Each structure stands twice: as structure tokens, then as C-alpha cells.
Chains A and B, each alone.
Chain A
Amino acid sequence: GAVVSQHPSRVICKSGTSVKIECRSLDFQATTMFWYRQFPKQSLMLMATSNEGSKATYEQGVEKDKFLINHASLTLSTLTVTSAHPEDSSFYICSARSVGEGYTFGSGTRLTVV
């Protein structure tokens, strides 16, 4: 079945630094990738949708300059949290989809900003 690899699974960074999270579709070409944020014991909130080769579409309230999304190829999307602050600490999950297929989720990244 379809597999999405997300790295790193955990990252701790200092305030003010940037962190990059990678999401790769291993055995299929993902025309669309999604990035979600999840707070403890809460649901997934969609941050942005990215299509290969075009700019990401951000949901209302998500700062595009803070959460940089790049979908440079059909198998790779990255989320960079720039100038991270403690309030950015959260669980980030990516999802990938190819045309006509279902959604496959990565295993998530636990970001802690200290």
C-alpha cells in the first residue's frame, strides 16, 4: 500500500531557529500534499495544501511567512517553521494524495521549541 515517510519524528529546537520537516511519498506520486497541526488531545487542523510545482494554499489564520511550504517534486514536500517560538510547539502531520486515490498520512513530527 501507499506509504508516506515523515522526518524527523521528534525535534527540539531553540527559540528563534528554524526547523524543516520532510514528507515523502515512497511508492506513489503525490500530486497534492497537506500539512496539519494537532494540539494534545485535539483534532487535526489543516494548515495548508500544496500542489507540486505551485505555491501552497494556506488556511485562514496560518502565517505563510512563518510556515514555509515547498512541494518541489511529486514525492517530496517540506514544511519549515521559521523563527520558532514555544507556541509553535505542536504535533505536525503531513498527508499525501494522488489523483483519484485516498489520503495517506505520515507518522507525524513532535516539535518542541525551548
Chain B
Amino acid sequence: SQQGEEDPQALSIQEGENATMNCSYKTSINNLQWYRQNSGRGLVHLILIRSNEREKHSGRLRVTLDTSKKSSSLLITASRAADTASYFCATKAGGGNKLTFGTGTQLKVEL
């Protein structure tokens, strides 16, 4: 399977704390994307990092990419209860259109 692995599978934190999720993948990539999915809903694109970038920020999100280790991390700072969702990394390789999704991290932010 080409699917990437994410850890942790589940993460429970208190509001205001930071949440870090990690993603590992198997093949060379063009870019890596992070998506959010609320329960029973579709996916919302959060951030894209290209293979020649090492770090990217968007609001409370910080993404890093280490192509030598084939890994990425997503940091959500000052988490809120509304951040409760599943988070998936997805990679795009070669000239194709396909996205390959990681196994996902279920984040729960408690008040």
C-alpha cells in the first residue's frame, strides 16, 4: 500500500494547548497537503507545502516537511474546541493527479 502513516492515531488535549500530528510517506512527492475532516463531512484543505519547502505557516497552523525522512508535521497552536476533527495528510507524486491519504489523526480538544 502507498498509504502514508500518521501518528498519533488519536490525540486529546485541553483548549489552549498545542497539537502536533506527524505524517510519514513512502514515495518521492511533489507536494504534501493537510486536510481537516469534521465527523461525517467532506474534507477541507488546510495547507500545502511543496517538496522544496521546509516550513510553512498559515494562521495557527505550522507545517514542516523533511523529504530526507519522508515525513511532515502539522502543529496547531492555541487549540480551540472547534479544532476537534480528523486531520489527514495527503501526498501527490509524479505527474499524476492522484492524492494518497495518510491514516489520519483524530484530534479532540476539550474545554
List the interface of chain A (C-beta within 8 A of B): 4, 6, 32, 34, 41-46, 49, 91, 93, 95, 97, 102-108, 110
Contact = CB atoms under 8 A, between A and B. Distances in A.
A43 B41 contact: no
Contact of A41 (B33, B35, B48, B106): B106
Contact of A49 (B35, B97, B103, B104): B97
Interface residue range, chain B: 20 to 34
13 contacts: A41-B106, A43-B3, A43-B104, A44-B101, A46-B100, A49-B98, A95-B99, A103-B33, A103-B99, A105-B35, A106-B42, A107-B41, A108-B42
A93 B43 contact: yes
Contact of B41 (A44, A104, A108): A108
B44 A105 contact: yes
Interface in B22-45: 33, 35, 40-45
Contacts of A107: 41-42
Interface in B1-59: 3, 33, 35, 40-45, 48
Given A32-B97, A49-B97, A102-B48, A44 B88 contact: yes
A95 B98 CA distance: 11
Interface string B70-111: 000000000000000000100000000111111110100000
Contacts of B42: 4, 6, 93, 105-108
A91 B106 contact: no
Contacts of A6: 42
Contacts of B99: 34, 46, 95, 103
Contacts of A106: 42
A105 B101 CA distance: 13
A6 B41 CA distance: 11
Nearest to B45: A102
Contact of A42 (B40, B97, B104): B104
A104 to B, nearest CB: 8
